[in-house]
Amino acid sequence: MKRFFAFFALAALVVGCSSDKKSSPAVQPIPIDSVIPGLTRDLAQRGIDQCAALWRPEDGSQADFEAFVREWLATTPEARRTLFDKLSRTLEVFNTQYNQLTIELGRPTVLSEGEPGAIDYLLAAYDATAHHSDDMFASKVAFITILNFPHYTLAEKNELGAGWDRLQWAYARLGDVFTERVPAEVSQRVTSARSAAEAYVDTYNIRMGHLLTEEGERLFPADMSLLSHWNLRDELKSNYADVPHAAAKQEMIYRVMERIVTQEIPAAVVNNPSYDWAPGSNRVWKDGAEVSLPAEGTVRYGHILDQFQAFRELDRWCPTLPTAIARNFEGGIEMSDAEVEELFVRFLSSEQVRRVGALIRERLGRELRPYDIWYDGFKSRSAIPEDLLTAETRRRYPDAAAFHADMPRMLRNLGFAAEEAQFLADRIVVEGARGSGHAWECLGRTEPARLRTRIGPEGMDYKGYNIAVHEFGHNVEQVTDLYHIDYYPLFGVPNSATTEAMAFLFQVRDLQLLGYGRQVMDDNATLDIFWGMYEIMGVSLVDMYTWRWLYAHPSATAAELRDAVLATARSVWNQYYAPVLGTPDSPLLAIYSHMLNYPMYLPNYPIGHIIHYQLEEHLAQYGSDAAFAAELQRIYRQGRLTPQAWMQGAVGAPVSVEPILSAVSRILPK
């Protein structure tokens, strides 16, 4: 998973925000020809109108506003380009410095460098950018930017962007920087709510060696500790291999997940080796004696509710995109939630899902269970016992430094030229993570990207390695489309889904990077991506529908939210999953921790899978590793266009599920 720096994470949720929507404008827009006779450009008028909409009484009078426009409107292409260069450089300086401050304050809570104290969590919740917007408007820098580089809506970008050159796209992206004017205290509350959820998620470990069957048997190693949901899911996946007690382990993990999402799990057993717990019966023992412990109850859902309430405060400042849903999809993902939902429902309702489910049932030789949404048998590594893979990864990567040292070789293995491989590796730092791991992007061309990954005392196990390779893909994207971009406002990718696609491209080649031969997009790889889409689309719909429910029930309690999420998860399950996997009313789709600390981030994963498959199909025509890597770099150097414009430039087609549905029909005909 990619973690966005707070300034841009907040920006994705406040695009379209402005001054208090209940107040009247402080000044009136003025016609451009009254400012500069003879100048009637639509662009200039757009900038004037947008400035007027954000101008407040404390910014000056009507006369002050008109004087400001006369002084600061760039009236020639040369003047506008000079201003663009200076503002772009300033934006990069601000982003770099804020990023570094956020990284340093958050280190104790996100890296495995000793136990953090209360002060560390307090400092990690500090938002260094909270007053940035206020300062930029007070100094008039924000107004100067808006006046000369006005904002275009998503629809306008998609319509007009086909005719824009690179500089025009960069001008439009600079126009996305100051679209809101949110009070600092509102921004800070959003950051604080998210920070509290992250702290909860990053320490939610299940002590697997203390789990008991109903017969009192221990199935997992005594020292195994798995983070929910990532490590629990990956451990469940690993038991599709021929290992002892595989089915019993999967059933136990499934019961643990159910207890977590229903909040029936005893609170004291989380990350606590003092208790033995039988998740099936929900009984607990300490020092051999059975004890009664209170359940978590609503803690999990309280974190979702806290963020919703913080975003609701933000809503009143955002008349253009007045909900977190609109800001996340139209402002952040740059696809509407209806468009995304339509993509997912088209896929989930397809006949191809039933065909692949039937194939899995045949391969397993049993009726399917709910946790078979994580069936892992299409991967070539599924035939390799995980303990052998772990032995290899621990040998290669005893610590973060060893993984970093191997990065140039891994990139050369994928076809990157030696010089470029070293260039990329030199701009990535590897650090041990407290949680499951993430990629933290670089925002300026003087800083590295950061790969945070969990590394145990014995070295990097296979699960950690697989996640690290995923994050490595993010980092390569982050460095590529920053250090090789032509205009700074275009750095990055259209949305989180397109960086997830790059991460998936790396992750599916994890065995290739360990020396098991070149991995190509064969039928098994296609089916693996397909089944991954199936699993994560349902999870994403639960996340999306939860936020719709919240807006329909803004006064809900944490208990009411819990019940609503469980009802939503069961409803989505019954419609799209029970017909294939059986077991009606399973709440399993609510297990993903992203719902707690990154609201509505989950849809980026299935969109990323869709884009990933389209990229794989496109890249398959490049037979050599070198050609593959060169084309991949060309695609990602497009930078931050809109998703549909980016995809047209990448593969010549829009984002669509039809290519993979067609491929599965070829592989598994009726």
Region of 275 on the Ramachandran plot (φ > 0 left; ψ -120 to 50 alpha; else beta): beta
Task: Name the strands in the sheet holding 289-291, side by side, starting at the edge strand that comes first in the sequence.
Answer: 276-278, 283-286, 289-291
- For residue 209, count other CB atoms closer than 10 A to its CB: 15
Return the DSSP state at 297: T
Q: Is 395 exposed, middle or buried (0-12, 13-18, 19+ CB in 10 A)?
A: exposed
pLDDT score of 3 more than 70: no
- Judge contact between 332 and 599, C-beta under 8 A: no
pLDDT of residue 253: 98
pLDDT of residue 21: 42
pLDDT digits (tens, 9 = 90+) for 198-208: 999 989 999 99
Which span out of 111-120, 249-258, 496-505, 517-526 was modeled with the highest average pLDDT?
A: 249-258
DSSP string, 599-625: TT-TTHHHHHHHHHHHHHHHHTT--SH
Binned at pLDDT 50, 70 and 90, residue 37 comes out as low
What gap in Å lies between CA 164 and CA 630, rounded to an integer? Answer: 25
Q: Do residues 302 and 562 touch, judged by C-beta distance below 8 A?
A: no
- Cβ count near 219 (within 10 Å): 19
- Amino acid present at 38: G
**pLDDT for position 385:** 83
Residue 630 CB-half CA count within 13 A: 8
Please report, as a single letter, which amino acid is at residue 419. Answer: E
For the record, the structure tokens of 556 come out as 């809900």
The secondary structure of 243-264 as a DSSP string is: -TTHHHHHHHHHHHHHHHHHT-
Torsion sign (Cα): 62, 67, 72, 77: positive
pLDDT grade for 47, boundaries at 50, 70 and 90: very high
Bond into 303 cis (ω within 30):
no
Instruction: Give me 658's structure tokens.
Output: 């039809």
3 state SS of 207: strand
- Give the residue carrying structure tokens 């939210």: 561
**Which element (helix H / strand E) includes 437?**
strand 437-440
Burial of 222 (0-12, 13-18, 19+ CB in 10 A): exposed
Cβ 583 vs Cβ 289: under 8 Å: no
Taking 70 as the threshold, does the pLDDT of residue 340 lie above it? yes
Four-CA torsion 372, 374, 378, 380, nearest 10 degrees:
-130
How large is the C-alpha radius of gyration of the chain? 25
The pLDDT assigned to 35 comes to: 61
Asked if pLDDT for residue 565 goes beyond 60, the answer is yes
Q: What is the pLDDT of residue 24?
A: 53
What is the structure's pLDDT at 491?
A: 96
Q: Degrees (nearest 5) of the Cα angle 463, 428, 465?
A: 10
Contacts of 35 (CB under 8 A, 6+ apart): 48, 66, 69, 70, 73
Local confidence band at 11 (pLDDT 50, 70, 90 cut-offs): very low
**Of 482, 649, 441, the residue nearest 88 (C-alpha):** 482
Q: In the numeric block, which tokens belong to residue 288?
A: 């051999």
Predicted local distance difference test score (pLDDT) of residue 4:
39
pLDDT > 70? residue 588: yes
| Rounded CA separation 583/569 (Å) | 13
Give residue 380's pLDDT. Answer: 64
Closest of 485, 592, 455 to residue 535, by C-alpha: 592
Q: Are 537 and 514 in contact (CB under 8 A)?
A: no
pLDDT tens digits along 611-636:
999 999 999 998 888 999 999 999 99
CA distance 63 to 86: 27
State mean pLDDT over 355-380: 94
Lookup: tokens for 125: 């919740």
Tens of pLDDT, residue by residue over 153-181, are 999 999 999 999 999 999 999 999 998 88
pLDDT(22) > 50:
no
Report residue 15's pLDDT band, with 50, 70 and 90 as the boundaries: very low
**Residue 312: which pLDDT band, with cuts at 50, 70 and 90?**
very high
Q: What is the pLDDT of residues 289-309, one digit of tens each?
A: 999 999 999 999 999 999 999
Longest dimension (CA), the chain: 89
* Mean pLDDT along residues 362-367: 96
pLDDT at 428: 98
In SS3 terms, 441-480 reads as CCCCCCCCEEEEECCECCECCHHHHHHHHHHHHHHHHHHH
pLDDT in tens, 441-458: 999 999 999 999 988 899
The pLDDT, as a whole number, for residue 433 is 86
Q: What is the rounded distance in angstroms from the CA atom of residue 606 to the CA atom of residue 64?
A: 50
**Helices 400-413 + 418-425 axis angle, to 10:** 150
C-alpha 18, offset from chain centre: 26
* Mean pLDDT of all residues in 282-288: 97
- By CB atoms closer than 10 A (0-12, 13-18, 19+), residue 158 is middle
Rounded to the nearest 10 degrees, the angle between the axes of helix 558-576 and helix 299-315 is 100
CB 587 within 8 A of CB 258: yes
Residue 434 has a pLDDT of 82
Res 382: pLDDT: 58
Nearest to 504 by CA among 632, 313, 416: 632
Alpha-carbon distance of 193 to 309, in angstroms, equals 9
pLDDT at 109: 87
DSSP-assigned states of every residue in 268-283:
GGBT-TT-EEETTTTE
Alpha-carbon separation of residue 319 from 8, 14, 86, 180 (angstroms)? 20, 10, 30, 10
Q: What is the DSSP letter of 167?
A: H
pLDDT at 18: 47
User: How high is the pLDDT of residue 25?
Assistant: 65
Residue 274 pLDDT: 97
For residue 181, give the 3-state DSSP assignment. coil
* DSSP-assigned beta bridge partners for residue 225: 207
Q: Mind listing the pLDDT tens digit for each residue in 445-495?
A: 999 999 999 888 999 999 889 999 999 999 999 999 999 999 999 999 999
**Confidence check: pLDDT of 137 > 70:** yes
* Sequence-ordered list of residues with C-beta below 8 angstroms from that of 207, at least 6 positions apart, any chain: 224, 225, 269, 271, 272, 273
Which pair of tokens denotes residue 324? 């977190």
Confidence at residue 437, expressed as pLDDT on a 0 to 100 scale: 79
Q: pLDDT grade, residue 128 (50/70/90)?
A: confident
Task: Find out whether 454 and 480 touch, Cβ atoms under 8 Å.
Answer: no
Higher per-residue confidence, 427 vs 3: 427
* Average pLDDT taken over every residue of the chain: 91
Q: Pick the closest to residue 148 from 58, 56, 85, 96 (CA basis).
A: 85
Average pLDDT over residues 575-596: 97
Give phi and psi for 290, each to the nearest 5.
-70, 140
What average pLDDT does this structure show over 545-549? Answer: 98
The C-alpha atoms of residue 575 and residue 580 are separated, in whole angstroms, by 10
